[in-house]
Amino acid sequence: MEQIVECVPNFSEGRKPETVGALVAAVRAVSNVYLLDEEMDADHHRSVLTFAGDPDAVSEAAFQCTRIATEFIDLRHHQGGHPRIGATDVIPFVPIRGVTMEDCVGLATRLGARIGQELHVPVFLYERAALHPERTNLEVIRRGGLEGLASRMETEAAWAPDFGPSQLHPSAGATVVGARPPLIAYNVNLRTDDIGLAKRIAKTVRSSSGGLRSVKAIGVELSSRRLVQVSMNLTNYEDTPIHVAFEAVRHEAEQHGVQIAGSEVIGLVPREALIHVAESYLRLERFDRSQVLETRLEKVMGREGAAQGEHQSNPSPDLSDSVSSFLAAVSDGTPTPGGGSVAALAGALAASLGVMACRIGPPMPKAGSADGSQDAAQWKESAKELEASEHRLQTLASALKGLVQADADAYAGVVKAYRMPKSDPSRLSAISDNLRIATFVPLKTAELTNEVATLLLTLRQKTKPSVSSDLKVGLLMSIAAMESGLENVSTNVEQIKNQSLEREMAGRIRIIEQSLVELRRLC
């Protein structure tokens, strides 16, 4: 398998084996997906599945799990030690082999749109897939639990979900979907029932409180064992290896006369992370990673070399097939993909042009000038700014790429609803619901492309003159995508004839229209 993505969804169920069994069965029913691990914890009232495989198949398995969780898990009757906002609480995609983080962002975006559309669960994108900087950290989205999120969604426009309805699902809450590097879920159990101590130690060791780098931590009560736990996520085990986190917790506990009962890894752990521990604790001399049996086998059997050779043999991919396929799909005489998908693609192309301009870099400092050192310092600062713009544009390009399919899926839902028998009492409601989804998707396209255009405008003063025409093309593409998105929004709203929906969207539409006026003037 040339491309492998890992997915580690967390579900708010740790006490009903039959429900967790249904989640596992949903994964195993999807071809080209391999279940790697399953964890179930009654005290946390949480289960974690780890599976990997073909990217599209993994995304399908994640959706099927979410569908099962939405049907079987009711948060109105849920009490557990772990923070949560959803039946399917969080779904991260992790690049393993042959895929990039941007590919995983695209998977997250498309899955989020599908969950919102088909399961009617609001979705928030996080980590590398976040469309709003304040939603990058999962703990910010979870702040205040279900009640806190519901309040923010109701009273703050900035907390509208990225996909799905504007209110929590009655029983399934909300779901967070994203893309991130591998992390290690690592817990240290303390021989005490003092939950206050566990929370104080967690606060001491977590990075947000000035503790260990790349460590998130909370205190959890293990009532079934009469213990407490410092539950940690090591988001970068290079920054803080497992043994460093363990020693930090042990040191803090011993200051209060409390011993360690044990520790545990939840889910899977990268091989390199365990090598870090072995090198430190065993004080291995002249140890080489090629001495690890699995590493040597992979090298001798040629897996790594073959993968690299395949990559190098095609350094410049032929774009004609993929472009031709999309053009053929658009011109096929079917309703989808249509104008909304084309608009999203135009926005993604505009963002990609911006990424290209950022990578080409800022103008070089003038050689031999009297203030050469100042010019060099300014160049470094400009390069740093372009790096930040590049990262944001990559995120926007991946999100817009996901909306190409999301728009087609949304309109397909509308067509399916209209084809229901007129005698079906649910037909009108289905039409209204699907039109609403088909309205929000192009609005999201217009909003994201508006941000793309804003970034492209700033790049004109920071990048080399050689890319000025490319940025101009990107701006023109942005304008087309924004106008097209608003056209689809207007058409669908008229069909719904829903005044409350019009009022809900009016402010968002006005912002885009004002931006369009300014963009046309500057272009």
Is the Cα torsion angle 294, 266, 168, 506 positive or negative in sign?
Answer: negative
- The residues assigned a catalytic role are 82
Q: Could you give the percent of the chain with pLDDT greater than 90?
A: 55
What tokens appear for 209 in the block?
């409180």
What is 4-179's CATH topology? Formiminotransferase-cyclodeaminase; Chain B, domain 1 (3.30.990)
Is the Cα torsion angle 393, 396, 397, 398 positive or negative in sign?
Answer: positive
Query: Beta-carbon neighbour count of residue 250 at 10 Å?
Result: 17
Q: Give the C-alpha separation, 409 to 163, whole Å.
A: 13
The chain-wide mean pLDDT, for the chain, equals 87
Task: Indicate where the chain has its CATH 3.30.990.10 domain(s).
Answer: 4-179
Percentage helix, strand, coil for the chain under 3-state DSSP, each rounded to 5: 60, 15, 25
18-32 per-position pLDDT tens digit? 999 999 999 999 999
- DSSP strand pairing (175-179 vs 123-127): parallel
Predicted pLDDT at 413: 85
Question: Residue 189: which residues within 8 A CB-CB, separation 6 or more?
Answer: 222, 225, 227, 228, 229, 260, 261, 262, 263, 264
Q: Average pLDDT in the 155-179 region?
A: 94
Predicted pLDDT at 461: 87
38-84 per-position pLDDT tens digit? 988 888 889 999 999 999 999 999 999 999 999 999 998 877 777 88
Task: Indicate where the chain has its CATH 3.30.70.670 domain(s).
Answer: 184-301
Return the CATH class of domain 320-364+373-522: mainly alpha
Predicted pLDDT at 312: 37
347-401 per-position pLDDT tens digit? 999 999 999 999 888 887 665 555 555 666 777 788 888 988 998 998 899 889 8
Predicted pLDDT at 30: 93
Task: Specify the CATH architecture of the domain 184-301.
Answer: 2-Layer Sandwich (3.30)
Q: Give the C-alpha separation, 338 to 283, whole Å.
A: 62
* Between 34 and 300, the higher pLDDT residue: 34
Model pTM above 0.85 = no
Task: Indicate where the chain has its CATH 1.20.120.680 domain(s).
Answer: 320-364+373-522
119-153 per-position pLDDT tens digit? 999 999 999 999 998 999 998 999 998 999 999 99
Burial of 77 (0-12, 13-18, 19+ CB in 10 A): exposed
